[in-house]
Amino acid sequence: EAGVAQSPRYKIIEKRQSVAFWCNPISGHATLYWYQQILGQGPKLLIQFQNNGVVDDSQLPKDRFSAERLKGVDSTLKIQPAKLEDSAVYLCASSRGTSGNEQFFGPGTRLTVL
């Protein structure tokens, strides 16, 4: 079974630029998560989708971050405009059901904002 795929793996941008990340979850997984992991910290949930609907986006900075999961499969996370404090690893995870007890993570996209 193929794991969660993410691209790009690394991205360097200047502040105020925009950036987009892509995630393809494990086939058949209904729930998809985007996390932000700042260096030295644990992942923090940004947004959770169940199929193509948003379940939880309470921690998403909606003035600059947006995400979509069209057709209930792959997803994109966008930041516009980026700030220095957005430098982090952006992790995508998926789970088969809705409980979230067994989440499978992708390798992440490491974003550096200069």
Does residue number 30 form part of the binding site for other proteins (CB under 8 A)? no
C-alpha 112/C-alpha 15 separation (Å) is 9
Choices 11-19, 53-61, 63-71, 72-80; region in contact with other proteins by CB under 8 A: 53-61
Does residue number 104 form part of the binding site for other proteins (CB under 8 A)? yes
Which region holds residue 86: left if phi is over 0, alpha if psi is between -120 and 50, else beta? alpha
Structure tokens at 21: 């990340």
Residue carrying structure tokens 């892509």: 22
* Binding residue (CB under 8 A) for other proteins from 28, 40, 53, 71: 40
Using CB under 8 A, list all residues that contact other proteins: 4, 40-45, 48, 56, 58-59, 91, 93, 99-108, 110
